[in-house]
């Protein structure tokens, strides 16, 4: 049997595309946030609350990646934010090339902050650099506190973890302290924000981080 040794990862070409895209975004001063989570974790609900809270201070756009529907993009547009729906054609993640293609069709004029709502799953999106400046992941309380043990790469690759739906903590067997400990063991530099988009608890800290990243010129880093 013949064995072929691959000296470069299969994502090497994508990594090059991502660096070029990130540099282009930095030149334009647009901060791109890659938002990742499992399906049903509440990405769109979290984004909607963030937009409502910040729309008078920050010009926000959203690229909604999904396998087929345009439901999420329509709900974002209803809030007065600029959005575009990206159909991935069955692909379970966004990569740098796909992100660049979507950006080419999206009017980002005057935007300060752009969210890429990635396809909902905890495996593929963690493996592909989209060209974003920051990776943010969501873990909702109903998903359980064992996800850092099952999907470590997602937590290792993220700059921020949002633990959402904290308003239902009393009804689920979810150990918040254990999650924080497990995640910080995987990624000591990650920022962790427990939040509830429904009640607003914790949203101020998350939104302060976003505004701080803009003020610090993270898009130019």
pLDDT at 185 over 80: yes
| Domain 13-20+28-211, CATH number (from 2.30.30.140, 3.40.50.300, 3.40.640.10, 3.30.465.10) | 3.40.50.300
pLDDT at 13 over 50: yes
Choose among 147, 155, 101: nearest CA to 126: 155
Which residues fall within 8 angstroms of residue 31, CB to CB, at 6 or more apart? 25, 112, 113, 114, 133, 134, 213, 214, 218, 219
pLDDT at 70 over 70: no
Which residues fall within 8 angstroms of residue 137, CB to CB, at 6 or more apart? 35, 36, 37, 154, 155, 158, 160, 161, 162
Q: What is the pLDDT of residue 4?
A: 46
Rounded mean pLDDT, 32-37: 97
Q: How many helices (H) and strands (E) does the chain have?
A: 9, 7
Q: What is the 3-state secondary structure (H, E, C) of 88-123?
A: CCCCCCCCHHHHHHHHHCCCCCCCCEEEEECCCCCC
pLDDT at 166 over 70: yes
> So where are the chain's domains?
13-20+28-211
pLDDT at 178 over 70: yes
pLDDT 10s digits, 107-131? 999 999 999 999 999 999 999 999 9
pLDDT 10s digits, 134-164? 999 999 999 999 999 999 999 999 999 999 9
Q: What is the pTM of this model?
A: 0.91
Q: What is the pLDDT of residue 36?
A: 97
Rounded mean pLDDT, 22-27: 95
């Amino acid at each position: 049997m013949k064995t072929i040794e691959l000296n470069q990862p299969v994502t090497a070409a994508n990594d090059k595309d991502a660096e070029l895209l990130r540099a282009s975004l930095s030149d334009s001063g647009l901060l791109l946030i890659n938002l990742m989570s499992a399906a049903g974790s509440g990405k769109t609900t979290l984004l909607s609350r963030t937009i409502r809270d910040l729309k008078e201070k920050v010009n926000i756009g959203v690229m909604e990646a999904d396998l087929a529907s345009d439901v999420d993009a329509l709900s974002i547009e209803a809030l007065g934010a600029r959005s575009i729906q990206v159909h991935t054609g069955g692909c379970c993640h966004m990569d740098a090339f796909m992100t660049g293609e979507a950006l080419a069709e999206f009017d980002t004029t005057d935007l300060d902050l752009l969210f890429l709502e990635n396809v909902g799953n905890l495996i593929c999106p963690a493996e592909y650099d989209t060209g974003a400046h920051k990776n943010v992941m969501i873990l909702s309380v109903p998903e359980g506190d064992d996800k850092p043990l099952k999907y470590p790469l997602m937590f290792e690759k993220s700059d921020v973890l949002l633990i959402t739906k904290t308003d239902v903590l009393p009804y689920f067997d979810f150990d918040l302290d254990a999650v924080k400990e497990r995640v910080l063991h995987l990624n000591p530099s990650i920022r962790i924000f427990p939040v509830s988009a429904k009640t607003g608890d914790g949203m101020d800290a998350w939104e302060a981080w976003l505004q701080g990243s803009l003020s610090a010129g993270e898009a130019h880093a």
